[in-house]
């Protein structure tokens, strides 16, 4: 990767030009360099590290200090890609806690943006973070940090009421100043409609190929967790000779709109 560092303004311009955005999770410096070399624009230091690195059953046990450590590892190696860090479970339960967590993730961890899960109830938190210079990526649909409330890892927004709620939340979060939105496990038609309606980039995971970009968990798309990959993912390493080739194939297929395909689009 060469050129200027990617920012939220870069991503907004890509959306306006119809250029798809490639995003992957990452937790260390070595993979950060590989992702950047493959052309990944957004590197997400996800709290999914709790499951793929720590062996936890959910993301809930992940602590802020874990996220700061891994974000710092990634940000030291990522010279151009936008580094986004997940805010872990309950670290943004109040506006004051959210500001403190963002200070650690951006100040000590080197993130350029923080991500939080939830709907319109987080609008004031997003406004406050923006006021202090912390860009925010919102996250709607399946919320892994709310897995006990949701009753499992299930698609969201499949009925009219659920779709209306997600749409209203998305608009409220954009109005509050969110710079980007991740939509996880929602019907493809809903995701495409929101990508067209919103001015901010919409990144899908298990949400069809009508979004402005795609994200997957790195270990899923490299087939490193046999038997655990979600049905909307794909093992890009299965037919490639190296990790670098698998990553390049993922980026190319996201850019071309060929991933996710029909087999990875469940609703």
Confidence of residue 2 (pLDDT cuts 50, 70, 90): low
- Catalytic-role residue among 36, 41, 117, 184: 184
Strand partners, 181: 138, 202
What are the sequence ranges of the domains in the chain?
A: 8-264
Q: What is the average pLDDT score of the chain?
A: 96
Confidence of residue 229 (pLDDT cuts 50, 70, 90): confident
CATH 3.40.50.620 fits 8-264, yes or no: no
Backbone φ, ψ for residue 45 (5° rounding): -85, 95
Q: Tens digit of pLDDT for each residue in 169-188?
A: 999 999 999 999 999 999 99
Q: Output the pLDDT for position 1.
A: 46
Backbone φ, ψ for residue 83 (5° rounding): -95, 120
Higher per-residue confidence, 243 vs 1: 243
Has residue 107 got a pLDDT over 70? yes
Q: Tens digit of pLDDT for each residue in 7-46?
A: 999 999 999 999 999 999 999 999 999 999 999 999 999 9
- 117 catalytic residue (yes or no): no
The two tokens of residue 209 are: 């190929």
Q: For residue 206, which of 229, 176, 224 has the smallest C-alpha distance?
A: 229
How confident is the model over 100-119, as a mean pLDDT?
A: 98
Measured CA angle at 227 (ends 225, 228), to 5 deg: 60
Helix segments in 216-267, DSSP class H: 218-221, 243-256
Q: Tens digit of pLDDT for each residue in 89-105?
A: 999 999 999 999 999 99
**Contacts for 233-236 with beta carbons within 8 Å, 24 or more apart?**
233/264, 234/259, 234/260, 234/264
Q: Output the pLDDT for position 248.
A: 98
Backbone φ, ψ for residue 65 (5° rounding): -65, -30
Has residue 3 got a pLDDT over 80? no
């Amino acid at each position: 990767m060469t050129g200027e560092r990617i920012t939220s303004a870069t991503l907004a311009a890509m959306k306006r030009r119809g250029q798809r955005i490639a995003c992957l999770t990452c937790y260390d410096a070595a993979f950060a360099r590989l992702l950047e070399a493959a052309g990944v624009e957004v590197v997400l230091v996800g709290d999914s590290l709790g499951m793929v690195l720590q062996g936890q059953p959910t993301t809930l046990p992940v602590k802020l200090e874990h996220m700061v450590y891994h974000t710092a590892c990634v940000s030291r190696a990522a010279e151009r890609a936008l580094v986004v860090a997940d805010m872990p479970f309950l670290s943004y339960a109040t506006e004051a806690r959210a500001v403190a967590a963002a200070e650690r993730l951006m100040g000590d961890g080197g993130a350029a943006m923080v991500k939080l899960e939830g709907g319109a109830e987080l609008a004031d938190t997003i406004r406050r973070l923006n006021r202090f210079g912390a860009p925010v990526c919102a996250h709607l649909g399946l919320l892994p940090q709310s897995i006990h409330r949701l009753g499992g890892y299930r698609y969201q927004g499949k009925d009219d009421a659920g779709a209306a709620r997600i749409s209203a939340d998305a608009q409220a979060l954009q109005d509050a100043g969110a710079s980007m939105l991740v939509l996880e496990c929602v019907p493809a038609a809903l995701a495409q409609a929101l990508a067209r309606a919103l001015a901010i980039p919409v990144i899908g995971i298990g949400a069809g190929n009508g979004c402005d970009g795609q994200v997957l968990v790195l270990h899923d798309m490299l087939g490193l967790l046999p038997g655990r990959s979600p049905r909307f993912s794909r093992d890009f390493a299965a037919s490639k000779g190296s990790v670098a080739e698998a990553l390049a194939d993922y980026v190319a297929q996201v850019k071309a709109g060929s991933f996710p395909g029909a087999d990875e689009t469940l609703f």
